[in-house]
Structure 1
Amino acid sequence: MREARTVVTEGLWSIGELAKRAGATVKTVRYYSERGLLPEAGRSAGGHRRYGPGALERLRLIRSLRALGLPVPEVERVLARDEALEEVVSDRLRQLGSELAALRWREASLRLLRDCPAGDRVEQVRLLGAVAVPPDTAALVRFWRRVLPARLPRRVASTVLDAVVPRPPAEPSPAQVLGFARLHALVSDPGLDRPEARPAQPLPAGEYRPAVLYEGLAEAYALAATELGAGRDVRDGGALDCFVGAYAHARGETDSADFRRALVPLLARADGPVITRYWKLAGGLFAPGEPVLGVLHHHLSVALRQDVGMRGD
């Protein structure tokens, strides 16, 4: 025998009345009710839902959360557990950050295409289309992992990657969007997989200790950045000596005039066209004031050539 349903209607509202009080549509109220998000205070004689002030308060909360862009499943999480609100808000902020980065990147890309010469648009569309939005640096990291010595300790490799891989600007200019797209195309070129096309190692393989070299170079670059920032020559504060010393110590040799002369062609071979092109494209992607290792390396290499020339006179 079916149990009799308790009928409670006094002071309660129908679904239409609740919708009117909340300024919502009946369809919206019915949707949230069917998902179990609105507490029922009773049923009419005909079995229709009836709602009280608690449902109105809950409905207003739901609509506020939805107005903040939270999807319904996330709203359900918040209603089920009060402490979930902080988690949901943090997650949504991360999502919004990614969405905003993508919008800024698309805006700069569209401005680039709008303002570029008509004859360049097809090529630039192709370049831009090969880059994820918002962009990531996975291709750049893979490129440098092929360039760096296999025996480089993970800790040192991680430090080097942080220094040589530029982060995509949060608010890129059209020029930066194009520069990043060209950089991505450079490091993604399948031709780099050919042995003859790969960038050369900084010193002959098997003839040096990679960790010693890269740790020494990090110190030399830091000194060079200080000297250049102060408007001084990189030879004035010991940056050049530190630079050459890094290569000498890595090979178990001492810094000498003969070693410096021998180092010049090794650096020229390592600084091949691919690496040179990389730094030309990457230079504009680093934050203002952030040291660009390619620029610092260039200054030190030029200073070394000048030093060798002076010593040879």
Structure 2
Amino acid sequence: MTLPIVHHAGFAPALPQGHRFPMAKFAALFAELERLGLTPPGAVHTPDLITHENLLRVHAQDYVDAVIARAVPAAVERRIGLPIDDGVVRRALLASGATLLTARLALAHGLACNTAGGSHHARPDGGAGFCVFNDVAVAIRTLQAEGRIARALVVDLDVHQGDGTALIFQDDPSVFTLSIHCGANFPVRKERSDLDIDLAPGTGDGPYLAAVGHGLAAALAAGPYDLVFYNAGVDIHEDDRLGHLAVSDAGIAARDRMVIEAIRGRGLALAGVIGGGYTTDVEALARRHAILHRTAARETRRIAAKDNRQAAVTD
């Protein structure tokens, strides 16, 4: 069995020259996955645009309508940090549709990964921090409305707190939110997750991985869950220009392995999204994001081999 990967070329629309968001990383990530041999026939799935109905399960109608009409107020556009034009709107609709498809594939196969997603700063009434719609929240509310899941866990390991996701699900026992982030980083005003772990700048691999182990164990103990979403942001990296946690490539790989093995080891379905990553070296950034997909593919193969051995014994 191969890892289901969700991708669309529309994840990387053109931005104004010199824009600080590394939009090219999405195409570079998919090229890296092709180079690694993770995109054989049947492995790559193409998402549809998220529907208006599903967006309204999370976001206010006036905000959704303004985005669709490319007519958000200037102040909201500044908070988002992206031009709300045709390409960016289509990207936001595709990325949300992709996370929903990733979740459906995870429920069917145990594990699936998006090549986008993790827009965790978007709130019901507006976007922020390069996030237009909160794709993970939309996917959860859609699957709950369909009766596909009752309870979900969000493991958010982006360097920035998942404030939008925390706000959306505050005081909602059907969703447990875990955010492990740099406390001195954006956003200045944090929201209350079910479990927040604030780390100091310069934390480094050892203490960071210890915090992830502690947070993950506590979150899993608060189960049961029908589905887990993992925001595998790589802006924790020592070279990232918006992160300050000083984690190495090896630390990111160890983190992703810890999370994926812990969740799949309990038989829980896992949907991975890539979260943040900000550096001018787009190729290095793509390799960093691809750690999630490489690790997930390895776990998919391991579980398939284990199942085959058990089937052989049974026969």
State the TM bucket, normalised to the shorter chain. Answer: under 0.3
Instruction: Tell me which structure has the larger Cα radius of gyration.
Output: 1
Question: TM-score normalised to the size of structure 2?
Answer: 0.23
More helix by share: 1
Question: TM-score normalised to the size of structure 1?
Answer: 0.23
More strand by share: 2
Question: With CA pairs under 8 Å and 6+ residues apart, which has the higher RCO, 1 or 2?
Answer: 2
